[in-house]
Amino acid sequence: MHPVVEQVTAALEQRSAARRTRYLERLQAAAAREPRRKLSCSNLAHALAAQPDDARLIMKQGGAPHIAIVSSYNDLLSAHAPLRDYPERLKVALAHAGATSQFAAGVPAMCDGITQGEAGMQLSLFSRDLIAQATAIGLTHAIFDGGLYLGVCDKIVPGLLIGALTFGHLPAVFVPAGPMHSGLANKDKAAIRQRFVRGEVSREELLAAEQAAYHQDGTCTFYGTANTNQLLMEAMGLHVPGSAFVHPHTPLRDAMTDEAARLVARNSQQGERYLPLGVQVDARVLVNAVVALLASGGSTNHGLHLPAIARAAGYELTWEDFAALSQVVPLLARVYPNGAADVNQFQAAGGPAWILRELLAAGLLHAEVPTAAGEGLQAYAREPWLDGERLAWRELPAQSPAPDIVRRHGEPFVADGGFVLLQGNLGRAMLKTSAVDPAHWRVQAPARVFDSEAAVQAAYAAGELIGDLILVVRFQGPHANGMPELHKLMPLLANLQQAGQHVALVTDGRLSGASGQVPGALHLTPEAARGGVLAKLRDGDWIELDARQGLLRVALSDAELQTRTAALPPVALAAGYGLELFAAQRHLVGPADQGATSLCRDE
Ligand SMILES: O=C(O)[C@H](O)[C@@H](O)[C@H](O)[C@H](O)COP(=O)(O)O
């Protein structure tokens, strides 16, 4: 076991000891209560009312595990559209496994692809917490012995997991649907966007390219936040092994969905092996998730989601933990935006199983952890296949079949994991280097300060973004406006960079997991709307961003900063599009480095 992985795990355990103890006490109390068996007759009758006769009978007897199905299905998200028929399929599979089940909750799911650059994006991160709460509402009926959680995309899997951890005495299996087939290559899609921004292609050509990329149901094919979720569920042992990137509507996918039902019934209190989710997700599992994130060049959004998930399990996972692990975890995959391959090509080259096998071999993962599939993570280092009609797993080749996509741990693409914690008089921020050319890891330039993504776009269109510059986009933090992704800035920033300008982004907002190329100091905390120095910046202030040194500073002394008046957040930010309903979240939300959540705050 690598000593740094051991140290980070021990430190995480130590700093979280009191919180984790409280969490486990709650979990044990919930497990001991067995509420279903103590429900009053009228409560139970309500639960049984809509059930088929045979299920009613079994549920009345109370001996079989009763499994909650929580789904984020809608057909607005291409990634979630295949989940439509899963509940019926799972109910049949659960019955075969001797369990009964109910569809406990449908939770909201929003598509960041549809809302990029629009007002709805301001609800994106808050939707994670709402999904956690909606999951809890389904489970709070207290009649369940386990949960199946159906979801794929950005905020949905973290939200489901936070909700499920609140009912950590129940076992959980996460059920994905898989990616769409490859369409127009992601880098060609990005190139056409850059040309559109430069006025070189028409809107019709742009739309044709977008539709060639997003062309059917299933998850988008780049390694953004949704697909990072999927790899993390593998690394945390919460999936049927290898189910992340199997296409929807295939016999293999169906077999894996059925297997999820078998596993959750088996892991219930009435099953062969009781595995409460809250016990399963311990410090080792959280560290494994961070390691897998880093080794695969995953989404920056998990710098928020993993600390929020950790808090739901009683842990204080910090950006320092990410940074320490990043120094020893090698980058083993090149998947867009960190490379040219898409997730289908990544999967064909070995996919998550390859990454996990290599990390296990390098002693960078805790191997002896309980998983949904059994004891030990090794089961997740093999690939699934159908042996006739039987679901089986087989070893991957020893050598990389595609060294431009996946590498052995001894021959990585880069020796570190590409997560940098930037610190200085502007605050603390995250920067992901895996998609950024090292030539751009250090930028020193005057600030151009904006209070919205739209204002940057207007300045670009007016030809005002000239020369080297650090684009400061502030009042984009969780308290200000829910911390939207600012992905629409990418084509224009990439154009400036390609034109030879030295550019970087500094923001208290987020970027999409699909963003790359241009260095971005993200999730800056404290945010401008909560006393951050960002609110005091002016055009022309000299900013230094250095990924190698972990530095982010403005060349102003403390005395100079003292004399500056902080700008006020733009007025009337939160009206229309439902934003007015989320005032309480904006008020309650915690800082980015604690997961930007209004849930699981310090007790
Ligand atoms: O992966 C993420 O973090 C995103 O939130 C993701 O949903 C993405 O931003 C959109 O799908 C846009 O994708 P493209 O604009 O790159 O096509």
- What's the confidence (pLDDT) of residue 36? 65
Region 340-350 average pLDDT? 96
Cα 224 to ligand 1 centroid, rounded to whole Å: 6
| Residue pLDDT, tens place only, 276-286 | 999 999 999 99
Region 468-473 average pLDDT? 98
Residue of 220, 232, 301, 511 to mutate, ligand 1, most atoms within 8 A of C-beta: 220
pTM, to two decimals = 0.97
Residue of 187, 304, 335, 487 to mutate, ligand 1, most atoms within 8 A of C-beta: 487
* Confidence label for 244 from pLDDT (cuts 50, 70 and 90): very high
Q: Using a 6 Å cutoff on CB, does residue 527 contact ligand 1? A: no
Q: Which two tokens stand for residue 339?
A: 């490379």
Handedness of CA 473, 474, 477, 481 (dihedral sign): negative
DSSP code string of 107-135: -----HHHHTTSGGGGGHHHHHHHHHHHH
CA atoms of 243 and 233, how far apart (whole Å): 9
Q: Using a 6 Å cutoff on CB, does residue 586 contact ligand 1? A: no
| Residue pLDDT, tens place only, 538-565 | 999 999 999 999 999 999 999 999 999 9
CA atoms of 8 and 328, how far apart (whole Å): 11
Q: Using a 6 Å cutoff on CB, does residue 514 contact ligand 1? A: yes
> What ligand 1 atom has the least distance to the C-alpha of 214?
17
CA separation, residue 354 to residues 233, 324, 405, 485 (Å) = 15, 23, 11, 30
Burial annotation 529-540 (CB, 10 A radius, 16+ → b, else e): bbebbbbbbeee
CA atoms of 470 and 545, how far apart (whole Å): 9
Structural domain spans, the chain: 3-33+64-181+216-394, 182-215, 419-571
For the chain, the 3-state helix, strand and coil shares in percent, each to the nearest 5, are 45, 15, 40
Whether the link from the prior residue into 158 is cis, omega within 30° of 0, is no
Domain boundaries 419-571, corresponding CATH code: 3.50.30.80
- What's the confidence (pLDDT) of residue 52? 86
Chain centre to alpha carbon of residue 76: 19
Check whether 500 has a pLDDT greater than 70: yes
Q: Using a 6 Å cutoff on CB, does residue 432 contact ligand 1? A: no
Q: Whose CA is nearest to atom 4 of ligand 1?
A: 512
Alpha-helical (H) ranges within 315-452 are 319-326, 343-348, 351-361
- What's the confidence (pLDDT) of residue 602? 63
- What's the confidence (pLDDT) of residue 41? 85
Q: Whose CA is nearest to atom 10 of ligand 1?
A: 113
Mean pLDDT rounded to a whole number for the chain: 95
Q: Which two tokens stand for residue 532?
A: 């951050």
Query: Taking the CB of residue 378, how many other CB atoms lie within 10 A of it?
Result: 17
Q: Using a 6 Å cutoff on CB, does residue 476 contact ligand 1? A: no
Per mean pLDDT, which range of 39-43, 64-68, 445-449 is the poorest? 39-43
| Residue pLDDT, tens place only, 19-56 | 999 999 999 999 988 766 677 888 888 888 888 888 88
CA atoms of 376 and 585, how far apart (whole Å): 39
- What's the confidence (pLDDT) of residue 601? 64
Classify the phi-psi angles of 294: left when phi > 0, otherwise alpha if psi is within -120 to 50, otherwise beta: alpha
